[in-house]
Structure 1
Amino acid sequence: YRKMNDGEFPKSISLGDRAVAWVESEVDDWMENILMERKAIDSGS
């Protein structure tokens, strides 16, 4: 939740009092960005 508050992870959507969900495409985009950053670090770019 800290990453959501810091804008580093997609915001959740409330489904009810004790349930949340995320938009799958937003999470997929976030994961792709993390992987690209990791590859750039690993390749020394």
Structure 2
Amino acid sequence: MQFFDYLSTNHDINRFVFAVVICYCVIEAVVHCYRGAKARKAG
């Protein structure tokens, strides 16, 4: 599988983990802002 070939080296694994962490932080921020905006509208 090409995906596992891509993750064959330590550097690629680190880059993959870094990308996942960044995406997670972005999603958390978006959800937080969305909830805040919703609460403000309702209030």
TM > 0.5 fold call: yes
Superposed CA RMSD in Å reads: 2.8
Q: Which has the higher contact order (CA 8 A, sep 6+)?
A: 1
Q: Which structure: larger Rg? A: 2
Question: How many residues are treated as equivalent by the alignment?
Answer: 31
* Higher strand residue share: 1
Q: Which runs of 5+ in 2 are unaligned?
A: 32-43
* Identity across matched positions, percent: 3
Scaled by the length of structure 1, what TM-score is found?
0.53
Q: Which runs of 5+ in 1 are unaligned?
A: 5-9, 13-20
- 4+ residue segments displaced more than 2 Å: none
* Higher helix residue share: 2
Scaled by the length of structure 2, what TM-score is found?
0.55
